[in-house]
Structure 1
């Protein structure tokens, strides 16, 4: 009797396990139809770059034929496999996908950048088709190219990347290592990733296999819509790939198609995010906002009255979380647009109107020691208002030494920096620094210092015990 009951229990458990596994398998997405439908719109991209300085052919050496020197150069070329009649080229592979029936293809800028020739091969095509560049946007790493195949072509629709959630199933199609039309699948691992690729980083992270050659290929949702453009990988990791959201691509494609380039607005400020110590030094209740470390002369920000040390907390009524968010938001606006910016200055809030100008990436980013004070009053910095290298006065205080392990050293202050302000007040002596540190610094737990490093202003917040 007992044995019969045990057999019944075992059979029930087995059936339950089989039911659970069957139910789980039923919930897995069926991707074959999606791959078959989307595949024809994905293309392989072959680029060729010809070096600017080609080897000089023998006929251009100005050496008479039949001379010993002529024979020498012939042997030299043959030994090093240098055929003067053949140009040495570099070739690379990438992916892309058609976004319209008339041959427009979206890919990564780094796939076609500096290429002298671009050829595209369709999934079912036997020959390559020459492509021309319509426009590129290096700051988002996107490019629009076009082929003329003389017929209507299959294409993919750009979906709404904002609707995708972490955990959603996705599929990637591309040309990894030259293996044409490779399909991989996975999920969205994260959204809004900032990986240091550019000022407008907002990547979708996925665990679908992405390898060299996948760049520019589509990341698809289960409806067959492109929700990302595969762009980057972590070479030292597995299952960590990044794609540009389709919503960013939509804005870029529209401008590339109509203008051949992307025009973005700019305020003319250098900004940085706010950490806990900076918030303490400024008396802020949170770390939200973007701290202005420099205002470009003649810029829209200067004309609007924004100054170094301001914290931009809102743009057009929407809160600003950090410097990256502010850069991205202003970048979606056009030159000539007027924005309303809320700034916090020494505890007071004010709103200013800023009319944006056009952002130009090419122009961006490009003493005998006196009484130096004790380390507690200068947070571990030895300071001088004379440059010992030339004996000239310093506009501020030159950091001539930083004590290892000191508060200044911990936040990255280093020898050669010039201390300009402490808590948004100019300092010209060690006494100025000591007074602010001992009074305001100890009361707030930190001070905000403005330094100049190789001519560039940088804020640092230094904790005060």
Structure 2
């Protein structure tokens, strides 16, 4: 019988030998050296490493009360018309709504800077540090007009504090880094460039915010309150996501402005309002011709408060403001929006047509002169007021306990032209609710700068709403 040989059994040792040689060869073959980590540590990486330990995640709980509509199953135009009429009769229920945001530590003792809208109406606020448990926080102060708030946490040990930069020497086009927690995704980083300065934007609540930085790094929900960082690892702004329609762009509050507000929030829990001390009205073609102005848009200065910032800067009635901080100003409302929210000490560069030529006037905003508010009320509005006391209730037979009561009205004044009379109670002025004299002082100084404001008057048990201003 012929003997056969199994070829596979012969090939196996050969294959093993080849494999062993190949592995041995790889061991001696020169491999590319692993990339040096330091060579990949760009300025962006270094900046992130410097600031990230101080960035926190903020979560809030809000108790929301809502009506239970028994007609909810019949959604058509017929039943919808009755919703507002019956809503006070519907039963209510409470539910908890959670929101997310970011913040940055600004003091080793636990003070955290964030956006005011992040913690608005929160019943509970918790802060999560990188790699640590959640800590309940308290609100030190908040101001929705500039969208900033200060929180405080207790940790028992010093916290990391990043370097605070400057925002008065920013360069359009320089690289910026946004750090935050968008959609709850911890420590997310986006990069971009500084696109523009001194932007005015309108938030979802209709409030106008001024002097914002515009960047092309995306700022998403949850990013609000986080830091905007430069390549030196310094904080140059506080990110905000209040502009819901932003696509591929973001906005931030300049750090110089934020830190001025921080000082006031820490001292008093609020940011003191500032004013320019002038009143403007819309420019009509007739008025433009009267003042020798060939343009058709601008805000006409109708009054200047003696001794106020505008008066000190040399502005006078008849001047036409055409630009604010180099941004076109088309109407009185436009001007008001651009200067609303100025802090004491901040400057507004106004391009003004005066005496047949254009010039730039710099007005430095000052703290509201609440001690002269009653003089302004007499000069601008033409009224004298006092607290709603027991004596006032008896004298004027008042039905209201909140507000200020009008004790005198000057004939021919704005108040007189509007129909306000002695014994009326001012409940609201320019969007500010009036409960006591301090509220009225603040409201009347701010309102005196506007062309027209809404005033809410209570006469007996009847409430009246009317506009008052130079347009009356």
Indicate the residue corresponding to 2:231 in structure 1: 222
Confirm or deny: 8 A CA contact 1:169 1:221 kept in the other structure: yes
Q: Tell me, in whole angstroms, the C-alpha distance in 2 between the residues paired with 1:355 and 1:179.
A: 41
Matched, 1:49 2:62: yes
1:135 alignment partner, one of 141, 155, 161: 141
Matched, 1:179 2:185: yes
Deviations 1:365-414 (A, max 9, x none): xxxxxxxxxxxxxxxxxxxxxxxxxxxxxx89xxxxxxxxxxxxxxxxxx
Q: CA deviation at 1:288?
A: 10
Confirm or deny: 8 A CA contact 2:304 2:311 kept in the other structure: no
Indicate the residue corresponding to 1:156 in structure 2: 162
Q: CA deviation at 1:201?
A: 0.5
Indicate the residue corresponding to 2:265 in structure 1: 256
2:46 alignment partner, one of 26, 33, 39: 33
Deviations 1:159-210 (A, max 9, x none): 1112111111011111101111111111111111111345550111111121
Describe the shift of the 1:302–1:168 C-alpha distance in structure 2 as closer, same or farther (beyond 3 A).
closer
Q: CA deviation at 1:234?
A: 5.0
Indicate the residue corresponding to 2:95 in structure 1: 88
Q: Tell me, in whole angstroms, the C-alpha distance in 1 between the residues paired with 2:453 and 2:287.
A: 17
Describe the shift of the 1:165–1:132 C-alpha distance in structure 2 as closer, same or farther (beyond 3 A).
same
1:350-365 aligned within 5 A = 357-358=368-369
Matched, 1:145 2:151: yes
Matched, 1:246 2:258: no
SS of corresponding position for 1:238 = coil
2:113 alignment partner, one of 103, 106, 114: 106
Describe the shift of the 1:359–1:159 C-alpha distance in structure 2 as closer, same or farther (beyond 3 A).
farther
Q: CA deviation at 1:268?
A: 5.3
Describe the shift of the 1:279–1:102 C-alpha distance in structure 2 as closer, same or farther (beyond 3 A).
farther
Describe the shift of the 1:121–1:359 C-alpha distance in structure 2 as closer, same or farther (beyond 3 A).
farther
Describe the shift of the 1:355–1:95 C-alpha distance in structure 2 as closer, same or farther (beyond 3 A).
closer
Structure 1: stretches of 5+ with no match in the other structure: 1-25, 56-81, 361-394, 397-449, 460-465
Q: CA deviation at 1:135?
A: 0.8
SS of corresponding position for 1:151 = coil
| Alignment RMSD (CA, Å) | 5.1
Describe the shift of the 1:345–1:98 C-alpha distance in structure 2 as closer, same or farther (beyond 3 A).
same
Confirm or deny: 8 A CA contact 1:45 1:94 kept in the other structure: yes
Q: CA deviation at 1:284?
A: 3.5
SS of corresponding position for 2:137 = strand
SS of corresponding position for 1:110 = helix
Describe the shift of the 1:54–1:152 C-alpha distance in structure 2 as closer, same or farther (beyond 3 A).
farther
Q: CA deviation at 1:112?
A: 0.7
Confirm or deny: 8 A CA contact 1:263 1:359 kept in the other structure: no
Q: Normalised by the size of structure 1, how large is the TM-score? A: 0.54
Confirm or deny: 8 A CA contact 1:256 1:262 kept in the other structure: yes
Q: CA deviation at 1:49?
A: 1.4
Indicate the residue corresponding to 2:428 in structure 1: none
Indicate the residue corresponding to 1:192 in structure 2: 198
Q: Tell me, in whole angstroms, the C-alpha distance in 2 between the residues paired with 1:353 and 1:88.
A: 46
Q: CA deviation at 1:253?
A: 0.6
Indicate the residue corresponding to 2:344 in structure 1: 332
Matched, 1:166 2:172: yes
1:352-391 aligned within 5 A = 357-358=368-369
Describe the shift of the 1:277–1:189 C-alpha distance in structure 2 as closer, same or farther (beyond 3 A).
farther
Q: Tell me, in whole angstroms, the C-alpha distance in 2 between the residues paired with 1:452 and 1:111.
A: 29
Q: Tell me, in whole angstroms, the C-alpha distance in 1 between the residues paired with 2:186 and 2:168.
A: 30
Describe the shift of the 1:93–1:314 C-alpha distance in structure 2 as closer, same or farther (beyond 3 A).
closer
Confirm or deny: 8 A CA contact 1:165 1:188 kept in the other structure: yes
Indicate the residue corresponding to 1:232 in structure 2: 241
Structure 2: stretches of 5+ with no match in the other structure: 1-38, 69-91, 330-334, 372-416, 419-450, 455-465
Deviations 1:239-277 (A, max 9, x none): 111111111101101111112111133355443686999
Q: Normalised by the size of structure 2, how large is the TM-score? A: 0.53
Q: Tell me, in whole angstroms, the C-alpha distance in 2 between the residues paired with 1:261 and 1:90.
A: 26
Confirm or deny: 8 A CA contact 1:158 1:227 kept in the other structure: yes
Indicate the residue corresponding to 2:32 in structure 1: none
Q: Tell me, in whole angstroms, the C-alpha distance in 2 between the residues paired with 1:170 and 1:353.
A: 29
